[in-house]
Amino acid sequence: MFHLKTDSIKTNYEIRYAAHPNDAKSYDTQRIRKDFLIEKLFSANEVNMVYSMYDRMVVGGAMPVGEVLNLEAIDPLKAPYFLTRREIGIYNVGGVGTVKANDAVFTLDNKEALYVGSGDRTVTFESADANNPAKFYFNSVTAHKNYPDRKVTKADAIVAEMGALETSNRRNVNKMLVNQVLPTCQLQMGITKLSLGSFWSAMQANIH
């Protein structure tokens, strides 16, 4: 685990390496959890990230509680600012909050999303109420082209109903940051909501 620290505001990140499928077959439960499970995403006034060797994706979470948190470049990016040749998708899974990208300010309610394109030099996170803080979940991937920043609401989402109650995987896939809704370079994101009594989504787990 690596740390970037400024006063009470802290950025933590770790690096995860890719596993060969033949090697992964021999992993026990503890090793699978260690290599593939991200347990710490949200903690007060911290930005937590995992830099993955799978597609150089960054997965992270920011939880501002009475502070403004900055999205800072981490060493593996080898870049002057985080969105140098990268784009990012942000979901708010907590209370109301704001994301400021350069000079544009976006207010995100619970389950609303924001796309921020490559080239934005500053991104900050803030909660409207410290007693009900925003929780910003984000994914970032490399980008060879810039597209405009844009907020996406639940009403904008393309909803696909999948699975069945009989197989315990009835779910709604809310496609929000996808090319059918807005232009992105490579990033595609959505939120899956499991129906009551369902407890899994798709197997085998996959990236694409």
Query: What pLDDT sits at residue 198?
Result: 87
Specify whether domain 2-147 bears CATH 3.40.250.10: no
Contacts of 79 (CB under 8 A, 6+ apart): 73, 85, 86
pLDDT in tens, 71-105: 999 999 999 999 999 999 999 999 999 999 999 99
Query: What is the reported pTM?
Result: 0.91
Q: How many CB atoms lie within 10 A of CB 55?
A: 12
Query: What pLDDT sits at residue 204?
Result: 57
pLDDT in tens, 8-23: 458 999 999 999 989 9
Query: What pLDDT sits at residue 7?
Result: 46
Helix (H, G, I), strand (E, B) or coil at 167: helix
Is the backbone peptide bond immediately before 204 cis, with ω within 30 degrees of 0?
Answer: yes
Torsion angle, alpha carbons of 180, 183, 187, 189, to 10 = -40
Query: What pLDDT sits at residue 63?
Result: 98
Residue pLDDT tens, the chain, 208 long:
666 655 445 899 999 999 998 999 999 999 999 998 999 999 999 999 999 999 999 999 999 999 999 999 999 999 999 999 999 999 999 999 999 999 999 999 999 999 999 999 999 999 999 999 999 999 999 999 999 999 999 999 999 998 898 888 899 999 999 999 999 999 999 998 889 988 876 665 656 5
